[in-house]
Amino acid sequence: MYPIWRLSRDGRGVRDMAGTTALPDAAAAAATGLVRLRRMAAMRAFDETCLEALRRGAIHGELHVGIGQEAVGAGMAEALRPEDAVVSTHRNHFHALAKGVDARALLAEICERATGLCGGFGGHMHPFDPATGFSATGIVGASLPVALGYAHAFRLRGQAAVAVGVTGDGGAHSGAFHETLVIAGARRLPLVVLVENNGLAISVPFDAITPTKTVAERAPAWGATGLHVDGTDVDAVAGAFARAMEHARGGGGPVILEATCHRFRGHFEGDPEGYRSRAERQHLRERHDPIALCRARLEAAGLAPATLDAILSEEKTRARAMLADVLADPLPDPSEARRHVFTETP
Amino acid sequence: MMAAAAPPDRLAMSVPATIAEAIGLEMARDPTILCIGEDIGRAGGVFGATAGLQQRFGPDRVVDTPIAEMAFAGMAVGLAQAGMRPLVEIMFADFIGVCLEQVFNAAAKIPTMSGGRVRMPVVYKTAGGCIGSAAQHSQCLWGLFAHLPGLKVVAPCNPHDHKGLMAAALRSDDPVVYIEHKALLLMKGRDFRHHPAVPDGAFTVPIGRAAVVRPGSDVTLATLSLSVEHALEAAGTLAAEGISVEVVDLRSVVPLDADTVAGSAARTGRLLVVDEDYLSFGLSAELTLRVIERLGLSGLRQVERLALPDVPIPAARTLEEAVMPGPAAIMARLRQMAKGR
Ligand SMILES: Cc1ncc(C[n+]2csc(CCOP(=O)(O)OP(=O)(O)O)c2C)c(N)n1
C-alpha cells in the first residue's frame, strides 16, 4: 500500500481525502508507467515542435508552451472520460492532448492553417473542440465560469460527467475563481478546479503575492475538497486526479486539485525572464523534470534503458513528421475572414 | 570638474522608456502618485513602461498585484477618494472585460454622482492594438471607452506624445484611459517617421488637441496611434504618384479635436478616417459626423472610413491581414479617393 498523493510539505489546512490503493503487480505497474512516460514524451515533443514552428515563422502571435509541466497533462489523461469537459487556459496544449483533441488538428491550428481545429480562426490560445468537450480562453481566470456551466448542464441532464476547469496559480487570485467556487460549492456541482501551480504568474512569484501557502487549503471556504499533489510526479498526479474526478462524479461536490510544478521556459516565447537566473532555470531542468523523474523510476523498477529511450525518440520523430505534414497544409483563404460572425459591414 | 551627464540618446530610446521617464518625473514631483498593476514593479512592466520605478519609489508606490483586476481597478477609485492619484495598468486592453465595472460605473461616474464633490484623478494605462495573438489579445477598444461618459481617452503615436500625454494624464483630475499600441511599444525613437524631439524634463501635451503631422492638399487623413505611422507611410508613397495627403494625428478620442480635422478637410475637400478599432458605432462615424456638423452637408466632396470590420480578430496571419487597416489598405483607399479629384 502506498499513498497516491502527497500533501504540501507542512500539510497545514489541506483537507486530505487520502485513500490508499493496493499496490499493483509489477508488470501492470510497468505497463502503466510506460504509457505515462509515452504520454509525457508526446506532450513535450508536441511543444518542442511548436517552438520549431515558431522559428520557422509559422506562428506570428504569442506562444505559451508547457514544457516542464507534462506530468500534469499526462496525469489527467487516464481519468478523463469522453463525456467530461475540460476548459483550459492560455497554456493549454497538454490539457487538449489529454482530453483527446486530435494532435495534428491542434498543431495545424497553432500553425495558423486552414486545416486547423478551428480553421485558423482561434490560434494557439483559443482551441475549441466540441467533439471532445475541450475549450480554452486567453483571459486568465475566465476558464472557470465556463467549466461551471458545463457542470450545471451535466447535473441538469443527469449525466455522470465532470467539468474540469484549469487555471494557473495566477488565475487562482481572480474574482472568477471565487465566484465560480461559491456557486459550485453551494450546488455541489461536479466540478474539478485544477490549479497548475508553477509558482509564477509571468514574473510574479506565487509566495510573494498570496496570503496562504497553497491554493488548495482555501477549499473549505467554498465547501469544496482541497487536494495538493506534487505535479512533477506523474504517478502522484494520475492518482490524485482520478480521486478528484471520482469524488466530483460521485456527487461529492467540487474539488480544488493543486498540482505544484515548474515552467522551464519563459512565460511566452520571447520572454527575457529577467525575474529568474539562468542557474535557477538550469536547476529546474536538472532536478524537477517530470520526464526524467518518471524515466528514473521505471529504470529503477528494472525496465531496460533502451526501451525507455526508444519511447522518447519515437515521440520526437512522430512530432517532427507531423509538423512537416502540417506545414504543407494551406493557409486560410483571406476571403473567409468574416465568415463566422454576424456582421452587416461589407 | 565633473562632466555633465550625457543627455539620453532620444532616438535610441524605446517608447516604454519614454513612458517610464514621464511617470518617474511626475512621481518625483507629486508624492500622491502611485502605480498599481501586474508585473509592473519587479519586472518593470511586460513592455518596460514602468522599468526602474519600483527601485526608485519602493514597492508601496509601485505595487505588483495578483491577477485581480477588479480589485485593483476599484482600489484606484478608493485611493482617489482618499486623496491619492493612482495609475493602474491593465496589461492589455482586452482584459478590461474583467473589471470594466470599476472603470465605468465608479471612476467615470463618481465625479458627476457626487455633484462634483469628488474628483477622480485616476489613469488607466493599457496596451491595445494588434501584433498577432488573435481575438482576445488584439483589440484597441478606444471606441468602447469613449462611449462611456466621464472618461478621457488618449492614444498617442510618437515618443514625444507618449511622454507629454502621460504627464497630462497624471495631472488630470478626471479619469483618463491611456491606450498604448503594442507595436509602438516595441519601437524606438528612430523607427518613427514623425518624431518631434523629446525634451529631457517634464512637459505636458494638452489632452484633446490633434496635430497635423504631414501637410497635404488632396485628402485629409485623420487617425491615431499606430495608424498614424501607417498613414505617413502611405502618404509618402502616394506623394511620388502626385497625390498629396494631409495626415492628422488625433492623439485623443475624448476630447476629440474635430475642429482641427474640419479645418483641414475644409481645404482638401476630402476626408478619410482610419481606425484600427471596430468600424461600427465608433470613432470613424463620430468624427465624420462632427466634421459634417461643422462644414455642412455640402462642405465636403468625399468622406470615407477605413476600420476593422465588425469581426473578432482572427488568429491566422492571412485572415488578420484581410481585416486590419494596414498601409496597403490605406493606400488603396487613398488612390481610389484621389481618382475623383
Ligand atoms: C484577465 C487577465 N489578466 C491578465 C492577463 C495577462 N496574463 C496572461 S497569462 C498571465 C499569467 C498567468 O499566470 P498563471 O495563471 O499562474 O498561469 P501560467 O502562465 O503560470 O501558466 C497573465 C498575467 C490575462 N491574459 N488575462
Give the pLDDT confidence of B107-131 residue by residue, as tens digits. 999 999 999 999 999 999 999 999 9
Confidence of residue A19 (pLDDT cuts 50, 70, 90): very low
Confidence of residue A226 (pLDDT cuts 50, 70, 90): very high
Using CA atoms, how far apart are residues B87 and B49, in angstroms rounded to an integer?
Answer: 12
pTM of the model: 0.94
Confidence of residue B4 (pLDDT cuts 50, 70, 90): low
**Would you state the cell numbers that stand for residue B284, as one nine-digit string?**
470613424
Given a contact cutoff of 8 angstroms between Cβ atoms, the answer to whether A61 and A123 are in contact is yes
Confidence of residue B7 (pLDDT cuts 50, 70, 90): low
Does any ligand 1 atom lie closer than 6 A to the CB of residue A90?
yes
Give the pLDDT confidence of B281-318 residue by residue, as tens digits. 999 999 999 999 999 999 999 999 999 999 999 999 99
- Burial state string for A53-78 with b = 16 or more CB within 10 A and e = fewer than 16: bbeeebbbbbbbbbbbbbbbbbbbbb
Residue B72 has pLDDT above 90, yes or no: yes
Q: Is the minimum CB–CB distance between B257 and chain A shorter than 8 Å? A: no
Q: Is the minimum CB–CB distance between B186 and chain A shorter than 8 Å? A: no
Q: Would you say residue A185 lies in a domain?
A: yes
3-state DSSP assignment of residue B143: helix
What whole-number percentage of chain B has pLDDT above 70?
98
CB contact under 8 Å between A62 and B137, yes or no, is yes
Q: Could you give the number of structural domains in chain A? A: 1
Q: What mean pLDDT do residues B41-68 have?
A: 97
Q: Is the minimum CB–CB distance between B70 and chain A shorter than 8 Å? A: yes
Give the pLDDT confidence of A305-330 residue by residue, as tens digits. 999 999 999 999 999 999 999 999 99
Range of the domain at A173: 36-287+302-330
CB contact under 8 Å between A139 and B68, yes or no, is no
Specify the pLDDT at position A214.
97
Residue B116 distance to chain A (closest CA, Å): 31
Does any ligand 1 atom lie closer than 6 A to the CB of residue A260?
no
Q: Would you say residue A114 lies in a domain?
A: yes
CB contact under 8 Å between B70 and A175, yes or no, is yes
Active site residue B195: no
Confidence of residue B10 (pLDDT cuts 50, 70, 90): confident
Q: Would you say residue A250 lies in a domain?
A: yes
Give the pLDDT confidence of B84-104 residue by residue, as tens digits. 999 999 999 999 999 999 999
Question: The domain that contains A93 carries what CATH number?
Answer: 3.40.50.970
Residue B203 has pLDDT above 50, yes or no: yes
Residue B243 has pLDDT above 60, yes or no: yes
3-state DSSP assignment of residue B33: strand
Q: Would you say residue A28 lies in a domain?
A: no
CA distances from A78 to A73, A82, A83, A234, B206 (A): 10, 11, 13, 11, 61
A252 CB neighbour count, 10 Å cutoff: 15
Give the pLDDT confidence of B125-155 residue by residue, as tens digits. 999 999 999 999 999 999 999 999 999 999 9
Does any ligand 1 atom lie closer than 6 A to the CB of residue B315?
no
Using CA atoms, how far apart are residues B232 and B224, in angstroms rounded to an integer?
Answer: 11
Q: Would you say residue A19 lies in a domain?
A: no
- Burial state string for A105-122 with b = 16 or more CB within 10 A and e = fewer than 16: bbbbbbbbbbbbbbbbbb
What whole-number percentage of chain A has pLDDT above 90?
90
CB contact under 8 Å between B67 and A173, yes or no, is yes
Give the pLDDT confidence of A61-82 residue by residue, as tens digits. 999 999 999 999 999 999 999 9
Helices (H), chain A: 26-55, 70-77, 93-99, 103-110, 143-156, 175-187, 234-249, 278-287, 290-300, 305-327
Place of cell 488637441: B209
Facing residue for A337 by CB, picked from B71, B98, B319: B319
- The full set of domains in chain B, from first to last, is 12-191 (3.40.50.970), 211-338 (3.40.50.920)
